[in-house]
């Protein structure tokens, strides 16, 4: 050895910020779900996806959630059994079915969203100063701009 000290390459400022933001947002989402008592599971994810995207086939739902068709079929069967999802014929495919939320399914999704929003509002009120709240409100449009696909 020549006595050289090897150091890890220094990340570019935007790369370091990106990694920091990715980590913080991930922890933030997990904390909101955990602390509000609305943890993530396959059933909640399927309901949320259908609430966001509208009716879709089991195959489409499986693809959007990154799981196998068989796994999603089991999730959908459970949700259908408890009255949170319903089947309807797929107008584009006479042999296929689309899954959609029932009124109870919509209420379940909305209740979970409201519980998370209430928990977060309370955390904002308790932990952030008025100036910090203002800073946070200015960050939201920036985050949305980062994820805007257009």
pLDDT per position as a tens digit, 29-70: 999 999 999 988 999 999 999 999 999 999 999 999 999 999
30 to 14, 25, 39, 50, 66: CA distances (angstroms): 24, 9, 8, 21, 19
Count Cβ atoms below 10 Å from residue 11 Cβ, excluding itself: 12
pTM over 0.95: no
Q: Considering only CA atoms, which of 55, 88, 104 is closest in space to residue 64? A: 55
Domain range annotation of the chain: 25-147
At 92 the three-state DSSP class reads coil
Beta-strand (E) ranges in the chain? 85-90, 93-101
Return the structure tokens found at 127.
Answer: 């932990």
The CATH label, of 3.40.50.970, 3.30.565.10, 3.30.390.30, 1.10.10.10, for the domain at 25-147 is: 1.10.10.10
What is the number of residues in the chain?
Answer: 150
């Amino acid at each position: 050895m020549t006595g050289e000290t090897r150091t890890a390459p220094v990340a570019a400022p935007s790369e370091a910020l990106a990694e920091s933001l990715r980590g913080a947002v991930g922890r933030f989402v997990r904390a909101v779900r955990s602390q509000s008592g609305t943890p993530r599971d396959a059933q909640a994810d399927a309901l949320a996806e259908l609430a966001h995207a509208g009716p879709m086939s089991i195959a489409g739902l499986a693809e959007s959630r990154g799981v196998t068709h068989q796994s999603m079929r089991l999730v959908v069967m459970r949700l259908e059994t408890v009255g949170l999802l319903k089947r309807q014929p797929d107008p584009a495919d006479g042999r296929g079915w689309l899954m959609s939320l029932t009124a109870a399914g919509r209420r379940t999704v909305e209740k979970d969203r409201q519980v998370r929003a209430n928990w977060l509002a309370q955390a904002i009120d308790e932990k952030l100063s008025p100036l910090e709240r203002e800073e946070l409100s200015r960050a939201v449009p920036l985050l949305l701009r980062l994820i805007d696909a257009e």
